[in-house]
Amino acid sequence: MASTAKNRESRKVPQRIGKYEIVREVGEGSTGTVYLSHDPYYGRDVAIKLYYDDFGGDEEKARAARKMFLSEAHMVGMLQHPQLMPIYDAGEENGQCYVVTEYVHGARTLAAFCKQDDLLPVDQIVEIIFKCAKALHYAHSRGVIHRDIKPSNIMYTQDGDVRIIDFGIALVSDSEISRLEGIAGSPSYMSPEQAQGQPLTNRSDIYSLGAVMYELLTGTRPFKAGNLAKLMHQIIYATPPPIHTLRPEVPEDLEHVVATALQKDPEKRFRSGQDLAAALTRVHQKLRSRTPHMDQSEQLAMLRRLKFFHEFSPNEIAEVLKASTWQNCSADEEIVREGDMDDRFYIVVAGNCVVERNGVVLGRLGTGDCFGESSYVPGARRAATVRATTSVTLLKVGATLLEQASANCQLRFNRVFLRALIERLQKAEDTAEVQTLNARRMAAAAHPPLARVGARARSAPNATQPTGTSSRR
């Protein structure tokens, strides 16, 4: 820590780093300082992490910091996901390394919500961890293991979105750059295999995210000890206190999800971030759904009558029900809001809705129609608001859960979505043609063509021409 203090004392806020104009310092860590900066070329604010260049002669720390910089620099343009903080640029200025990332105004890290007096609602925590799980699944699918998932490395924005940050110690497959010697990461959130210096897989990040979820729900870490050795021993051998003893309102299903993520044996955890996200979707649906009282046979019969499911077999409809919840809405209730982001789409089982954008009605939906298919596109926001105009019964389908359905079932959905898209485009074209035709008619009525007047003049009898003689010569 002495080298960090020395860096702090000797540090002067630069006016510029490369092409970036420094606005102010916004934070510091063990390896560098973060500045709010402005990119004049793109006209946007960015965050610049300027790595320390003085470690008091400690060559090992200097070498580790250099590798962390190279690891982050290696990520430029590599990971592009809405919940992963994008890295725009990296370079060196006067011997100091820097990395440029997105700057999110008003965002705070999840560490702000890990105190017992500032805990978030349970359903909000489920949404946050769901988004993190999907983002980690994306990174893992590209051969990147974060290795340092913790509350202070997850930003929470003012509009309820998240950004995972700091890939400085990330492990990239087939890359020598990211291979730091020794144990890397934050001890309280390390997986047992990470604490023992064993080879890591994506399931190590799953464990760390489970530890973050535990702390967000309870306001305390899974394991606490007076020194590092005792902490490591607990992580490897001990079981954390049950969540319901610390926060009784946490549902049993969610407690089971956290316990699965925190299994000592990696093979007993969720296989992937996608599997964790699917489990959280089931929990979230139970937390938020308002379910009509119908048994499964009634539900199947009701869905089979809808035009949406005409091509589905009974078994495929049963698969859909497993990935869905029912929801009742009253007249004038907002179902989805323009600009929101989630992974659910809806099928109108009974009732009517209106589609609006900026207060303008775009269309109307009735029994058998679907909306919200943009949830199939990762990171897509709602393009319009949908509001009930009568009492409405909806089938709310989780896209993450549907990805676990059979290939035939998913193919049926893709066909229905494609048909719905074609119909909407055709309606839009027809509407545009009618509007164009009406505009032409109005213009014609307001300004009669001069040629028509001339034609009438030419058709009048010629007084100078003798009657009965031809003008043709």
List the one residue out of 192, 243, 236 whose CA is nearest residue 215.
243
Give phi and psi for 93, each to the nearest 5. Answer: -135, 115
Give the span between the Cα atoms of 164 and 152, in whole angstroms. 9
148 belongs to the catalytic site: yes
Give the span between the Cα atoms of 3 and 302, in whole angstroms. 69
Task: Name every residue whose Cβ is closer than 8 Å to that of residue 321 and which is 6 or more positions away in sequence.
Answer: 296, 299, 300, 303
Q: Based on C-alpha coordinates, what's the Rg of the chain?
A: 31
Helix runs in 53-163, H state only: 59-74, 122-141
Give the span between the Cα atoms of 165 and 302, in whole angstroms. 46
Measured in whole angstroms, the distance separating CA 235 from the mean position of its chain's CA atoms is 30
Burial of 303 (0-12, 13-18, 19+ CB in 10 A): buried
**What separation in angstroms does the CA of 464 have from each of 33, 455, 461, 467?**
99, 19, 9, 9
Q: Which of 54, 117, 123, 148 is catalytic?
A: 148
Measured in whole angstroms, the distance separating CA 204 from the mean position of its chain's CA atoms is 22
Task: Name every residue whose Cβ is closer than 8 Å to that of residue 427 and which is 6 or more positions away in sequence.
Answer: 363
Cβ atoms of 336 and 346 within 8 Å: the answer is yes
Between helix 202-218 and helix 252-261 the angle, nearest 10°, is 140
Give the span between the Cα atoms of 137 and 340, in whole angstroms. 22
Cβ atoms of 208 and 189 within 8 Å: the answer is yes
> Any idea what DSSP says for residue 467?
T
* Secondary structure class of 448 (helix, strand, coil): coil
Active site residues: 148
